[in-house]
Every structure is written in C-alpha cells, then in structure tokens.
Amino acid sequence: MSNKPGILWFTGLSGSGKSALAGSVQRYLQENCGARAYILDGDVLRTGLNSDLGFSDADRAENIRRAAEAARLLADAGLLVLVTFISPFRAGRQMAREKAVPFPFAEVHVACPLEVCEQRDPKGLYRRARAGEIPQFTGLTSPYEPPEAPELRINTAELTLEESTARVVSFLLAQGWLEMQ
Amino acid sequence: MSNKPGILWFTGLSGSGKSALAGSVQRYLQENCGARAYILDGDVLRTGLNSDLGFSDADRAENIRRAAEAARLLADAGLLVLVTFISPFRAGRQMAREKAVPFPFAEVHVACPLEVCEQRDPKGLYRRARAGEIPQFTGLTSPYEPPEAPELRINTAELTLEESTARVVSFLLAQGWLEMQ
C-alpha cells in the first residue's frame, strides 16, 4: 500500500495525547502500509518557521496560518501530514481546512477531559499556568472550542493508544487515503 | 535508486532559468532515479506561506527565512528539495545554508548574463521594471550578489537544458545524494 497526500489535523488540549497518537499512527503507517507520513508539530514549528511569533491574538492566528500553509506544502510533496496543534479556535481550524484544498483534510478531535490532561501534565505546563506563569493558557485562562463535527473524535481517557491508533487507521482506509499499489 | 534528503538552492537573476532547470532535474530524478524531489518556488511561496510579505528589506529577509525553514521541513520529511529563489544577497543564502543543518545543502548559481535574462524576459518583468513599474528590481535597481563559491555554477546562456540537467544530476551522484536501494 501507499498513501495519498492529505492532512490529518489533530486538535485538543495540552496533554490530551495528540503527539502520542500521531506518533503511533505514523509508526503504524510506515511499518504496515508503506505510507509516508510526516508529523508537523506545533511546538516544533515554534522553534523554526514560527519562531518570530508570540502569543498575542494576531500572532496565534498567524501561527495557525503558517502551519496550514506548511501542511499544504508537505501534502503537495506527496505526504500524509499529521498536524498536532492545540488549535483552540474553530475559525483557525476552518481556515486550515480551506487552505488544504485540493488535498483531503480531516479533523481529529483528541478529546480528553481537562482534569485528566491536567493530571497527566507531561510538560508541567498546567502546574506553571496554575502558578500564574503562563498567561492565556488553553483550558484554564483561554478557551478551547471543541470541534462540532470533526471527522474523528477520540477520547484518549477511555481508549488505549492501540485502540486510538486503530480508529485513525480505519478511518484512513475507509476514506481511501491509503491505497493498494 | 532513491534520494537522501537534502536542499539544492538555485539562485540567479529573474529569467536566468532557475525554474526550467529545477523542473528538468525533478523530472529526470523521478523518471530515472526513483527519487522524490520537490520544487519550492519563490513566486509560488509568495501566494501562500509568504503572502503577507512585501518587498521591504525586512520582508525580503523574512521571505528567505521562511523559505529556508520550509525547505528544512521538506528535507526532514525525506525529500530532495529544489528551491528556486532569486535570493540576491549572500547573507540570506548563508542563513539558508545554516538552517539546513543536519541536511546537506548546495548552492547552484544559475548564472546567465543580465542582457540575456532581459532579452528572454519570460514574465515581462524587465520591461515593466525598465518602465519604472517595479521598484528595487534585482539586476537593474537592486543588486545581485553572485555566490563566491557555489557548489555548482551553471551558465544557461552557454549550456543546453539537457547539459545543465546532467551537471546537476552528476553532482548529486558524486556527492552521494542519490543512493542504490
């Protein structure tokens, strides 16, 4: 099998498991499907392409715009792009969907209750945000607008990583993003 | 054969033949070497990722910075990236080279005398610049700093497209950017 180009946009709170799920999907696709999948990560992008941006409203919007453009470039190069971005606002995700044309785009809501995310706190960000060290922290002092009709919604508090991965791969197969060579 | 990831940065005046050469190299690599090559074009980038930028000194520098970051992302995804950018200043090209690390980077100076470029004028830009419609036009009213030690220098006024393509492919083979599978 191989992949068609396309963009899977993983959105969810910090600590919801976006990166873990995308990493697992990437490994599965490469090892079992001969697919070329690339992870475009929000934190990584802020160290390179988006290193000049801060966290004002304008900069956050520009952050998403560039991510959407970069995802489109990678899809244009033939990749199945796994974007992991908190991307809290519907408008930003809608813009990413529109910029993806003519490539297929699907929103994966990595849904996990805030309490669970905060308990996991893999990067210690919730602790710092509660201590007032991070202003406008999504979920605490800045809103997260859940997708109303995502192509996939995966509750990582209830499913194992293997089950979550299987759901994403099944979706890609059903939608024809993976094809027999 | 397949390709290693890397960045070939084609620099030269408007009309020097960067896009024609990169397109020919891409076709050759895909058809004969099973390589995955992607063209990152300056004009195209200005319609997407860099659509918010103008032509001030600061915006031109940011234009190159983002191109260099995008090229690195594409190399990180496994591609042989063919960047076609006038990129008139040494400092900008040096920055792109530094950002490419750890991927190999090579500068291809698409050298063609200004008179020949102006005679070709494939987009009518020289005519418009001479008429005063385009300020700061590279080669006329804004300088082009030729690379002092490019990995490759190709004079498209003297070589055919086939000869030019062969030189680039030979370079890639000699440098180990293409490998037997």
Say yes or no to pLDDT of B181 above 60. no
List alpha helices for B49-160, DSSP H.
Answer: 57-76, 90-100, 114-120, 125-130
Question: Is pLDDT above 60 for B125?
Answer: yes
Q: How many whole angstroms from its chain centre is CA B9?
A: 4
Per the DSSP assignment, residues forming a β-bridge with A84 are A10, A41
Report the candidate in A94, A95, A71 with the shortest Cα–Cα distance to residue A82.
A71
Separation CA B85–CA A107 (nearest Å): 34
Residues B5-33: what's their mean pLDDT?
A: 95
Output DSSP code: residue B151. Answer: S
Answer yes or no: A16 catalytic: no
Query: Across A29-71, where does the E strand assignment appear?
Result: 37-41
**Predicted confidence band of residue A55 (pLDDT cuts 50, 70, 90):** confident
Query: What is the ipTM metric for this complex?
Result: 0.90
Residue A3 has pLDDT above 90, yes or no: no
pLDDT at residue B1 greater than cutoff 80: no
Residues of B annotated as catalytic are 87
Q: What is the pLDDT of residues A84-142, one digit of tens each?
A: 999 999 999 999 999 999 999 999 999 999 999 999 999 999 999 999 999 889 999 99
Per-domain residue ranges for chain A? 2-179
Task: Note whether B57 contacts A: Cβ–Cβ < 8 A.
Answer: no
Residues across chain A: 181
Contact B77/A at CB under 8 A: yes
Question: Chain-wide mean pLDDT for chain A?
Answer: 94
Residue percentage of chain B with pLDDT more than 90:
86
Q: Once rounded to an integer, what is the mean pLDDT over residues B155-170?
A: 97
Nearest CA in chain A to B41: A73
- The encoded tokens of residue A62 equal 């520009």
d(CA B169, CA B177): 9
Q: Model pTM?
A: 0.93
Q: What is the least distance, in Å, from the CA of B180 to any CA of chain A? A: 19
Indicate the helix (H) or strand (E) that contains B11.
strand B6-11
Position A113 scores a pLDDT of 95
Q: Which residues contact A132 (CB under 8 A, 6 or more apart)?
A: none
Chain A residues closer than 8 Å to B74 by CB: 73-74, 77
Lowest mean pLDDT among A78-82, A146-150, B79-83, B120-124: B120-124
Q: Are B11 and B112 a contacting pair, CB within 8 Å?
A: no
Q: Give CA–CA dist B12/B22, Å, rounded.
A: 12
Residue with the two structure tokens 């895909």: B30
Q: What does the pLDDT read at residue A1?
A: 67
Sole residue written with tokens 């890639």: B172
pLDDT higher than 90, residue A180: no
Element containing residue B27 per DSSP (H, E): helix B18-33
Lowest-confidence pick of B18-27, B55-64, B65-74, B109-118: B55-64
Contact by Cβ (8 Å): A89, A139: no
**What's the fold here for domain A2-179?**
Rossmann fold (3.40.50)
